[in-house]
Every structure is written in C-alpha cells, then in structure tokens.
Amino acid sequence: MDTIRTIDDMQAASAALKRSGRRVALVPTMGALHDGHVALIRQARTQGAAVVVSIYVNPTQFGPHEDFREYPRDMEADSQACGREQVDALFAPSDAEMYPDGPGPLAAPTWVEETVLSRRFEGERRPEHFRGVCTVVAKLFNIVQPDLAVFGQKDYQQLKVVTRMVRDLVYPVQIVAVPTVREPDGLAMSSRNQRLVGTERVQATGLWKALSVARDLFNEGEQNAHRLEAAMQRTVGLAPAARLDYAQVVDGETLEPVAKVQPGNIALIAVHVGRVRLIDNLIL
C-alpha cells in the first residue's frame, strides 16, 4: 500500500490509475479508524475500484470551541488497518499541504457551501461545520478524482449535504452510502466514542435506546412526530451524564421536520454525554 503525503503525488497517482483503465473509489475519513470505516472500505472494494482512503482531521469543519485538538489520532494503527483491508493508497496530507496559507480566516478564501440542507440540526449548532465539510470534500475530489466516494449513514445530514453538493456542482462522482455499524449494545461506531470516560460509555447507549423507542412506537402505529420526539427525550433523560441537543423526526430527503410520521422518515438525535457530543439516526 502506498502512503501519499502530497497533493501533487496523489493527483499523479490517481491520474495514472485512471489511465490504466481502473476506477477509483475514495473513502474520506478523519482517521482513528474503527469497524464503521472498515465497512466503508469493504463497500468500496466490492465496486471493483482501486480504493483510496484519505485520513485528514480537517480544521475548517470544527468550530473554535469544538474538539479539534482532542479529536483522536492514531496514524500507525490506521495505516495497519488500511494494509489489512488491502487499500491501494492511503492519502494523509499535512495541514500545511491542505491549507498552505496557514490557519485563520484567510486560510482558505474559497469556500464551497451548501445552503439548504445544511441549515438545520448540525448546521445550526455548528455554523461553519458543513462549509468546512463541503470545502474539504471538494478538495479531496479534485485531488483524488474518484469515480465513487463512500460515506457512512451515521452522519446522515452530512451524507445528504455532500450528495446535494455533488449534484449541484455536477461532480462526476457516485456517492455510495453505507449503513451505520454498531457496537453489540447498539452504540453507533464513532471515533469520538474513544473520548467517553467511566460510565459515560454505558450511558452513551441512550442515543440508540431513544431511537429504538421511537422505532418501536412507530411500528406499533404511532404517527405523531411529537410523541416520538417526546419519547426519545424521556429515554435520553434516564442517563444522568446525557444532555439532549435535539431529537427530531424529519423527511429523509429535505431534512424538514414532519408532523405525521411516514415510512422512510428519519429520527435524528444529538446528545452531549459528558464532554463528548454524539449523533445518531435511524430510518423509520
């Protein structure tokens, strides 16, 4: 497996792959790889493409008071995981490579911004988050020139925002979505789970319990979104270290809240557990 550090080398490697007739699949990650990422990589491999995993903790998608510094990093373990999964190339650029003009507001004068699906939920709580995500994904697409890119459904709003960006800017990239991978107790795999301490890990299952309660109520015939949302809120409230940010049932495409729940709607949830903010979702 090649580990590639520079944009020039990655663009050249990708161009060479494509000249040889191979399709290229990109799995964009922020590293600290877990079984959720492995599922993305394996999905990419089933597409018969050369698989490029990018590992870059992108500063522009973190707000000034968020966990950019604390975000888990372990390049050695990540590199081994990619080797085990027969990844063709690992693209791991430095900050200086991705933002040569340094940090700060003028680091990247050019932004890519999706302005509709980004508005609510994560975008409301993290005002610059999706602008940072869209910009770095656009850059990664321009660097890796993938034919397809694989994203996890765990970050459902991100998946929809990126899909919309690709459609609006007509990137010749197919977006492939992969279902969320969970721990045996239901907690969605996330690099941020590493940051849970003591009993927070057990209490973090409150997100999945809340989503499961909503799903069960819906399957029993409850169609009132407010009742599902109230049930999610009560469930999260059972964990003393948990503080609910939002729990809402939305349309799966527009991400607009619904009043009457229909199959295919999504229950979205965000919860602070101690100092860690976790998100999850479930298709009803």
Contact window for its own copies (CB under 8 A) among 43-51, 106-114, 148-156, 204-212: 106-114
92 binding its own copies? (CB under 8 A):
no
Environment class of residue 166 by beta-carbon count within 10 Å: exposed (0-12), middle (13-18) or buried (19+)?
buried
In terms of DSSP bridges, do strands 89-91 and 50-55 run parallel, antiparallel, or are they unpaired? parallel
Residues 61 and 129 sit within 8 Å (Cβ to Cβ): yes
135 binding its own copies? (CB under 8 A):
yes
27 Cβ contact list (under 8 Å, min separation 6): 37, 40, 41, 44, 51, 52, 53, 54, 87, 149, 150
* Subset of 138-177 contacting its own copies (CB under 8 A): 138-139, 142-143, 145, 164-165, 168-172
Distance in Å, CB of 114 to its own copies, minimum? 5
Cα 170 to Cα 17, 19, 158, 175, 281: the distances in Å are 22, 22, 18, 12, 28
Distance in Å, CB of 281 to its own copies, minimum? 21
30, 33, 112, 148: residue in contact with its own copies (rule CB under 8 A):
112
Q: Which two tokens stand for residue 131?
A: 């602008």
* Subset of 7-26 contacting its own copies (CB under 8 A): 7, 11, 15, 18-19, 21
Task: Answer yes or no: 272 catalytic.
Answer: no
What residues make contact with its own copies under the rule CB under 8 A?
7, 11, 15, 18-19, 21, 106, 108-117, 134-135, 138-139, 142-143, 145, 164-165, 168-172
Q: What are the catalytic residues?
A: 37
